[in-house]
Structure 1
Amino acid sequence: MPPDASVAECEYCGRPFESEGLLALHRGRAHESAISAAERTAYEEAYEAESGQLGRFRLKALAALVLVYFGLLIVYAVV
């Protein structure tokens, strides 16, 4: 991380994270038995948000692969 960036640090293990969302995900995964109810809620919200983003990325990646595949297929058919 850049030295001038604001850091969210885990109070359980001291690891630095870029954002509070990443910190909440870390707490929920690495310190599941030690977190409070508020931290668990933050983890669940961050997990849902990231799941949506990951789903959109997968759809975009699939669309790109399909376009490349059919593009190469058409080029091969013409040549």
Structure 2
Amino acid sequence: MSVETTTPDSDADAATPGTEPADDPDDAPRCPHCGDPFPTERLRDLHRGLNHYEDLDDSERDAYAAAYRSESEDLQSFRLRALAALVLLYFGFLMTYAVVAV
């Protein structure tokens, strides 16, 4: 009986969905407390503030607060755009119904 082994970077594994190797560049911002990589410094600052707040100094807490404010502004903007899209969609269907039903 023979056991076949494959390496993580083989073509067969890359073709299977969900099994791609993690794409962690060496220059990605990392959390100094747990070592997790993040695509942006803003996401790293948010992670540090949410998961390691007790271990942060004042400058790191200020970075977390700035990232939190920025994230809140982005979420508010998204909510307003989503609401506008829903209102336009609703009135678009309403006008289409009014034209077709008459």
TM over 0.5: yes
Structure 2 stretches lacking a partner, 5+ long: 1-21
Larger Rg: 2
Q: Tell me the TM-score normalized by structure 2.
A: 0.71
Give the share of equivalent positions with the same residue, in percent: 49
Q: Summarize the Cα distance change of 1:5–1:54 in structure 2 as closer, same or farther, 3 Å threshold.
A: farther
Higher RCO (Cα < 8 Å, 6 or more apart): 1
1:40 CA displacement: 0.3
Q: Which runs of 4+ in 1 moved over 6 A?
A: none
1:29-56 residue CA offsets vs partner (Å, 9 max, x unmatched) = 0111111111000000111111111111
* 1:8 aligned to which of 25, 29, 38: 29
Structure 1 or 2: more strand by fraction: 1
**TM score, norm. by length of structure 1:** 0.91
1:58-79 residue CA offsets vs partner (Å, 9 max, x unmatched): 1000000000000001111111
RMSD (Å), alpha carbons: 1.5
Equivalent residue number for residue 77 of structure 1: 98
Q: Which runs of 5+ in 1 are unaligned?
A: none
